[in-house]
Amino acid sequence: MKIAVIGTGYVGLVTGVALAEIGHTVTCIDVDPEKIAELNQGIPTIYEPGLGEMMLRNQKRRRLHFTDQHRVGLDGADVVYLAVGTPQLADGSANLRYIEQAALDVAEYAQESVIVVIKSTVPVGTNMRIKQLMLSHVRPGIAIRIASNPEFLREGSAIHDTFHGDRIIIGTEDHETADVLEEINAPFGIPVVRTDVSSSEMIKYASNAFLATKISFINEIANLCEKLGADVEEVAKGMGLDHRIGSAFLKAGIGYGGSCFPKDTNALVQLAGNHHHDFNLLKSVIEVNNHQQQLLIEKMLTRFGSLHGKKVAVLGLAFKPNTDDLRESPALVLIPKLAELGAEVVCYDPIAANQGSKWISAPAVYTKSVSKALNGADCAMIVTDWPDIKRMDPQTFVRLLHEPIVFDGRNCYTISAARKAGIEYYSIGRPDVI
């Protein structure tokens, strides 16, 4: 089976590498020649644990190739995966420009009949529209079969998730196409769910919307816990033991970010609206999340009165640990807000530090050294629960900060550890330690 993957971002690159690892011959195509040049030198263009070694291994086996020429990459491909971005437009809907262009690229260079697999997250109905678009542009006699195969990997554990996913969703118009997709994926040994194309597209949006709902729900409980003197960590533990609820995604904090939940929840609200359905529940989930990001600033203002001239050590830039992805990270909201309030910001991130100034125009210093960020600062604000921050002895704050005051947006330390270390500690949904 000769496979082409269009788009070598977080999803496309991981998909291409994983398909090569299980034995397929894969060519990954991207419009960005710099990315392709790096990949061809064996340098992964994203930070993802385990990706680099697997990529290099399959390049050496000559099962994995990279090109910026669609004509070359699509030549002889039996199956083409589309894994380009579907970012958010100003009205919240998904921008389908890239997926349409990728489809036109396939139509232009397809020499023989081909199966086109859409991995990108696209609104219900898009797969069939893309099929029609391709059919109206391919040479006569070339058949296009379409498959919706949404991606569920999590950045930061993408390789692990690809090999140990809970399910593979395959939405097709016919059994033959589903058979081919199931055969391609068989070596992963992951349960396959076959369905129709529209349901497959909806499974992806519904899954992300549900997970976002769980996060906003526990965050609202956390906000109530703060008012009532309860501890949200205890509450989440007690709730999560009920197997109907489950403990995953019951971690209170300053809200979700990243390239998926914010845009996919907005796109689903927009899609519902287009069909005269007011998705009130999801609108509230989004509103709760937007407010949640402001909580630490509110807590700081309550504590200090004014942040003018305060030196704040921001710990974490990435939207979650183990990724270099800053898309929709709470840090993108918090750092400019701190600067606007007159604070001096020094931001630590072990992987994404050098991307800070590319994403944030407000004045701030970025460092890969946690002690440099903390040294002499008036307080610390934890934005990302990087493992090294979670593992750090809270005594470090006493040693390095001007005053040991910590605002923790990810509940990294237990209340007893904070007390024992003698820090002033404000977290989410738990009693303050003063």
Active site residues: 260
Three-state secondary structure call for residue 344: strand
Question: Smallest distance from the beta carbon of 228 to ligand NAD, in angstroms?
Answer: 36
Q: Which is nearer to ligand NAD, 29 or 300 (CB)?
A: 29
User: Of 10, 319, 386, 397, which one interacts with ligand NAD (CB under 6 A)?
Assistant: 10
Question: Smallest distance from the beta carbon of 203 to ligand NAD, in angstroms?
Answer: 12
Q: Is 259 in the site for ligand NAD (CB under 6 A)?
A: yes
Question: Smallest distance from the beta carbon of 260 to ligand NAD, in angstroms?
Answer: 5
Q: What is the DSSP string of 203-228?
A: HHHHHHHHHHHHHHHHHHHHHHHHHH
Question: Smallest distance from the beta carbon of 232 to ligand NAD, in angstroms?
Answer: 26
Single out the segment in contact with ligand NAD by CB under 6 A; choices: 23-31, 209-217, 394-402, 424-432: 23-31
Question: Smallest distance from the beta carbon of 62 to ligand NAD, in angstroms?
Answer: 22
H-type alpha helices, 305-430: 330-340, 356-359, 370-374, 387-391, 395-400, 415-421
CA 413 vs CA 82, 139, 155, 382, 388: distances in Å: 42, 61, 24, 11, 12
Q: Is 86 in the site for ligand NAD (CB under 6 A)?
A: yes
Containing 312, the helix (H) or strand (E) segment is strand 311-315
Q: Is 374 in the site for ligand NAD (CB under 6 A)?
A: no
User: Of 1, 98, 249, 294, which one interacts with ligand NAD (CB under 6 A)?
Assistant: 98
φ, ψ for residue 425 (rounded to 5)? -135, 120
Q: What Rg do the C-alpha atoms of the chain give, in angstroms?
A: 23
Residue count, binding to ligand NAD (CB under 6 A): 27
User: Of 3, 5, 8, 59, which one interacts with ligand NAD (CB under 6 A)?
Assistant: 8
Q: Tell me how long the chain is.
A: 434
Q: Is 151 in the site for ligand NAD (CB under 6 A)?
A: yes
Single out the segment in contact with ligand NAD by CB under 6 A; choices: 84-92, 167-175, 194-202, 399-407: 84-92
Closest CA to 25 of 86, 102, 77, 93: 77
Site for ligand NAD in 152-181 (CB under 6 A): 153, 155
Residue facing ligand NAD at closest CB distance: 9
Q: Is 352 in the site for ligand NAD (CB under 6 A)?
A: no
Q: Which is nearer to ligand NAD, 68 or 231 (CB)?
A: 68
CA 419 vs CA 299, 310, 316: distances in Å: 18, 24, 23
Place of tokens 């678009």: 133
Q: Can you read off the two tokens belonging to residue 252?
A: 């209170």
Q: Which is nearer to ligand NAD, 181 or 260 (CB)?
A: 260
Q: Is 200 in the site for ligand NAD (CB under 6 A)?
A: no
Q: Is 257 in the site for ligand NAD (CB under 6 A)?
A: no
Question: Smallest distance from the beta carbon of 277 to ligand NAD, in angstroms?
Answer: 22
Q: Is 121 in the site for ligand NAD (CB under 6 A)?
A: yes
Q: Is 120 in the site for ligand NAD (CB under 6 A)?
A: yes
Place of tokens 């790096």: 38
Question: Smallest distance from the beta carbon of 80 to ligand NAD, in angstroms?
Answer: 11
Q: What is the DSSP string of 163-191?
A: HH-S-EEEEESSHHHHHHHHHHHGGG---
Q: What is the DSSP string of 108-138?
A: HH--S-EEEEE-S---TTHHHHHHHHHHTTS
Single out the segment in contact with ligand NAD by CB under 6 A; choices: 5-13, 163-171, 241-249, 344-352: 5-13
Q: Can you read off the two tokens belonging to residue 112?
A: 């023989």
Q: Is 409 in the site for ligand NAD (CB under 6 A)?
A: no
Q: Are 5 and 27 in contact (CB under 8 A)?
A: yes
Tell how strand 64-67 and strand 79-82 pair up.
unpaired
Tell me which residues touch ligand NAD (CB under 6 A). Answer: 6-12, 29-32, 35, 83-86, 98, 101-102, 105, 120-121, 151, 153, 155, 259-260
